[in-house]
Amino acid sequence: MENREHEKELLMKVLITGNLPEEVLALIQKEHEIVFHPENRPLDRNRLLAMVADREGLLCMITDRVDVALMKEASGLRMIANFGVGFDNIDVGAASDRGILVSNTPDVLTDATADLTLTLMLAVARRVLEGDRMTRAGEFRFWAPMHFLGQEVSGKTLGIIGLGRIGRAVARRAKGFHMEILYHSRRRLGSVHEKDLGVTYCELDKLLARSDFVSMHVPLTSVTHHLIGREELAMMRSSAYLINTSRGPVVDEEALLVALRDGVIAGAGLDVYEHEPDLTPGLAGLQNVLLLPHVGSATIETRTNMGLRAARNLMAGLRGERPPDCLNWGKPQ
């Protein structure tokens, strides 16, 4: 009887705002009572506020705005586990003030996002999407030596902005294409690590001027917001491509639209957008930009591992333990 009472005391109420793999749900259900959003679309804001009101745990998606208003509704909230490495959707300071732990899911999406970065580079340089559309439309009628030319990736210069986990993974892949790799980052690597990775540090303006491909891998902060704008795009080669798989607002999308339209740069490959999911008017009509629906981590393996990692963070926090990926441990509690 005492054991049953103890188990009952440990049982807490958890809201999961996305449709996650069954093994993730089953793991959390071992210790807690769950309610989850079963649809493959963001949870409506009003429903989110209503559903979170009596919850101690929240496993949220990057599309959920977890702000002061939500925390006031959920007065008993103890743990917020974000399903994603970025956490600009959560007011971490407000959570800390209320004694709520917050975690994210780093590491597990590194390879998938790095793979997609190379996919965008190759696809935009070789005009893959344009070729697919032309072929489907029945317009492929002949082969000619100067028809439908793109640019090679092998042997070109890649500029990586932000050399964190994903940036380093992109660099390792780019070595396979015999690319010269420049990087600009808040913290410079030591010379031994630079040599091992095969990268050369550059100030941002020099990186932009020298690179055939510029790939963004920075978090979204007040410093990185519009890190690439009109002036930075003007520094790039007219034959260069901009790739962004990080956060949409690190690029001034209106300035990018103008640069693509006017031939300031050759093209772009985007997986994220400044006003996601909305696009800057006119962007979708351009032929020299490849647009993907934020699928950087969208592999079966990665999304499952993200869910399991978020679940383990959540469960640790609800036990009163430090979550492995806690963002605010030791802050005001």
Q: 269-283: string of b/e by CB count within 10 Å (b at 16+)?
A: bbbbbbebeebbeeb
Note whether 282 and 307 are same-domain residues. Answer: no
Note whether 185 and 251 are same-domain residues. Answer: yes
Average pLDDT, the chain: 94
Selected catalytic residue, list 73, 194, 276, 322: 276
Residue 187 lies in a domain: yes
Note whether 150 and 177 are same-domain residues. Answer: yes
Domains of the chain: total: 2
Residue 328 lies in a domain: no
Closest CA to 124 of 236, 292, 11: 292
Q: State how far the Cα of 103 lies from the Cα of 82, in Å rounded to an integer.
A: 6
Note whether 187 and 255 are same-domain residues. Answer: yes
Note whether 81 and 142 are same-domain residues. Answer: no
Residue 34 lies in a domain: yes
Residue 284 lies in a domain: yes
Note whether 72 and 207 are same-domain residues. Answer: no
Decide: 180 and 209 in contact? Cβ < 8 Å.
no
Residue 328 DSSP one-character state: S
Residue 326 lies in a domain: no
Who contacts 317 (Cβ-Cβ below 8 Å, separation ≥6)? 57, 78, 79, 81, 101, 103, 323, 326
What is the reported pLDDT for 332? 60
The rounded Cα 97 to chain-centroid distance in angstroms is 27
What is the reported pLDDT for 333? 53
pLDDT band for 78, please (50, 70, 90 cuts). very high
CATH number at residue 54: 3.40.50.720
Domain range holding 246? 110-291
Average pLDDT of span 194-198 = 96
Q: State how far the Cα of 310 lies from the Cα of 82, in Å rounded to an integer.
A: 7
Please say if 294 is a catalytic residue: yes
Note whether 159 and 282 are same-domain residues. Answer: yes
The helix (run of H) or strand (run of E) holding residue 236 is: none
Selected catalytic residue, list 65, 172, 225, 294: 294
pLDDT at 229 over 80: yes
Note whether 252 and 132 are same-domain residues. Answer: yes
Please say if 276 is a catalytic residue: yes
Note whether 260 and 134 are same-domain residues. Answer: yes
What is the reported pLDDT for 257? 98
Structure tokens given for 71: 């925390």
What is the reported pLDDT for 2? 43
CA torsion, points 161, 162, 164, 170, in degrees to nearest 10? Answer: -10
Please say if 33 is a catalytic residue: no
Note whether 158 and 278 are same-domain residues. Answer: yes
Q: State how far the Cα of 104 lies from the Cα of 62, in Å rounded to an integer.
A: 10
Residue 332 or 41, more confident:
41
Closest CA to 266 of 131, 104, 100, 125: 125
Peptide bond into 277 cis (omega under 30): yes
Selected catalytic residue, list 32, 37, 217, 247: 247
Q: How far is CA 25 from CA 71, 76, 290, in A?
A: 23, 21, 35
Residue 97 lies in a domain: yes
Geometric angle at alpha carbon 239, from 235 and 244, rounded to 5°: 70
Note whether 101 and 115 are same-domain residues. Answer: no
pLDDT at 236 over 90: yes
Which spans in the chain are helix H? Answer: 2-10, 22-29, 45-52, 68-73, 92-97, 110-125, 128-136, 165-175, 191-197, 204-210, 230-235, 253-261, 300-318
Share of the chain above pLDDT 70, in %: 96
Note whether 76 and 147 are same-domain residues. Answer: no
Residue 95 or 10, more confident:
95
Segment 97-125, tens digit of pLDDT: 999 999 999 989 999 999 999 999 999 99
Segment 4-33, tens digit of pLDDT: 444 445 689 999 999 999 999 999 999 999
Residue 287 lies in a domain: yes
What is the reported pLDDT for 104? 97
